[in-house]
Structure 1
């Protein structure tokens, strides 16, 4: 193992683990708070510039630890201000992170896995297959990259990111421990200081882990439902065959009941033309959601190659929404953002990885030709 790989990456230490790290060095608890601020609020990765720590401690830190940041291989900014990054992980695979600015907030969509094992039929990420879970450093590193993109290293960051949603690549509850540690960092006052109401975890319905989640953290919850009955959801979200809708709704209510405040779940419903977008589906969904304190987020499908699905017309989307509104549900339609730089989640990674492979083939071909 190389010297670099043996070092502890402090970027990925949760507040409690950072305290334990400094305790092992014989240092007091406040050192952990200082380090969290240096990394996550000032974006500083050079121990020598952490001047409120003694010279001996800085030397010791450099010897046994590091602050290893993600490798950004692609970044683009949409005309509407949406930012997208592709970050290459150790092993060569990439993940995608998206920042969406709005009038009163800035929302960062964060990935939890490389690829996804759930294979939802309408998701381009699932079609890439599953590679591995992301580490805490790789998850929080996405927040770091986005937060620090708005200012120079060493300057205290501006609060551009007001919300984080674990809705990127992967199923967060299948990478439970690392996602929880990363969310603890997002909410810690010495790191990103986000409100528990403004950190949201999205799940397709891993019921046992959803129950476990409610015992350790109280972030906001989004449920990827996408169908109002088991027969249809079995086709769209194969996980439903293991944890059907009735079990998912019961687990959602159990989670909400553990929260100290009266938060609602967000029900995510991707609308696909002539699949789940009829008035009959809206009627089924309405009856189903009367069982859950929730707001419903309708998401017109983002087409991707070979999906076999189409985006519904605006008329069908509005008819679906209007029926739900008539039944006194809280309903929003997710607007399309950044479509000039990408479409559905996961597509950007595929294109960048493909360009990277083509580039490598080109370089190898040139080298082979020059050697002949």
Structure 2
């Protein structure tokens, strides 16, 4: 019964204003007999003034405002709860129009504010150390629902006179399994008439959906690509990340090599260190040998504790030793700065807690 109602709602719902680039708006207004400059006015109201209703667009003709109202919604996000960490990290749990809940995070850096966005309600990839997969995949977000997360984060920062400087597509879900919406999202937030976030300030992370890595390489974008690696060999990776059974490690590395050659950009390999699983010196040596001589960066991530997974953190001195070993193979290596350690920091953790409380998102 629920899915029948959901399909009915999805069929009749309006498009979202955040779905469109300036070129899309230009086509839309001209199809309705309006001059092309109306597209810039609409984008200005949406992204610079950040209004939440068409009636506020006072320099548009009344008829055009009514047409917009009849055709579009603002993809409202209903805030369920907001957590703020002592380090300035802010985590939002928001409800979508159909009752599903998603997370968005603002992270503070010395170089500015970064926003981490969600691309799916849940995730089917099944990484054993990740809270996002608990409950499985419910649905994909459309581009407007992803853009709305950045706009809402910017509204929050407006109160402090700050702005969103970069975006990481690393929240709940596998972006490369919602590929078209992800690409449109990138084009919308990069649009000079919109939020104008530079492509080199946008990072997309994938667990390794090999066909779409090739596709992404051919898009002609200058976006940062991050690969969730988390193991130095196929056997261990398949245990930690079931997606590796679909796309084995050798195939993944081949796709990554194609990406680097096609774009001229290095790849970031994310490596979550899990106590006793993938954090031993032999793992570091194997990883160093695997990546030596490639144009890459390894980002070591102390795993976030998720009660349902019962994985433990690697001791800090062991993390530094892991880094030292990799650098011995001349592999550029960083340790990710922890954000929000005093709140539900793990990706999907706040949503999982919300679901466990009986407030289901489906």
Common fold: TM-score over 0.5: yes
In the alignment, does 2:155 pair up with 1:181? no
Name the SS of the counterpart of 1:146 in structure 2.
helix
Q: Deviations over 1:100-148 (max 9, x none)?
A: 0111121111111011001011111112211110111111111011011
CA distance in 2, matches of 1:6, 1:75: 27
Describe the superposition over 1:249-306 as per-residue Cα deviations: whole angstroms up to 9, x where unpaired. Answer: 12112222232xx432111000011111111111111111125311110001111113
Aligned twin of 1:216 = 219
Count of residues in correspondence between the two structures: 351
1:128 matched to 2:135? The reply is yes
- Partner residue of 1:114 out of 118, 121, 126: 121
CA deviations over 1:174-201 (Å, ceiling 9, x no partner): 0011111111111111111111111111
In the alignment, the residues of structure 2 paired with residue 130 and residue 273 of structure 1 have an alpha-carbon distance, to the nearest angstrom, of 27
Shift of 1:158: 5.3
Structure 1 counterpart SS, 2:139 = strand
Per-residue CA deviations over 1:311-350 (Å, capped at 9, x if unaligned) read 1111211110111122222111112211212131111112
Provide the rounded CA distance (Å) in 2 between the counterparts of 1:239 and 1:62.
Answer: 42
- Matched-pair contact (CA < 8 Å) for 2:76–2:97: no
The corresponding residue for 2:276 is: 274
Cα distance in 2 for residues equivalent to 1:115 and 1:171: 9
Q: Report the TM-score, using the length of structure 2 for normalisation.
A: 0.91
Which of residues 323, 340, 343 in structure 2 aligns to 1:341? 343
- 1:82 is aligned to 2:89: yes
1:316 is matched with 318
Match of 2:80 among 73, 77, 82: 73
SS in 1 for 2:326: helix
Could you say what the CA RMSD is over the residues aligned between the two structures, in angstroms? 2.0
Unmatched 5+ stretches in structure 1: 359-372
Unaligned runs of 5+ in 2: 1-7
Could you tell which deviates more after superposition, 61-70 or 117-126?
61-70
Distance 1:208 1:10, change over 3 A: same
Does residue 1:51 correspond to 2:55, yes or no?
Answer: no
Aligned to 2:209: 206
2:189–2:197 Cα contact (<8 Å) kept? yes
Contact 2:76 2:96 in 1 (8 A): no
Contact 2:75 2:97 in 1 (8 A): no
Query: How does the TM-score come out when normalised to structure 1?
Result: 0.89
The list of structure 1 runs, each at least 4 consecutive aligned residues, that deviate by more than 6 angstroms after superposition, is none
Q: Are residues 1:62 and 2:66 paired? A: no
User: Residue 225 in 1 paired to residue 247 in 2?
Assistant: no
Partner of 2:266: 264
What is the DSSP-based 3-state SS (H/G/I as helix, E as strand, rest coil) of the residue aligned with 1:125? helix
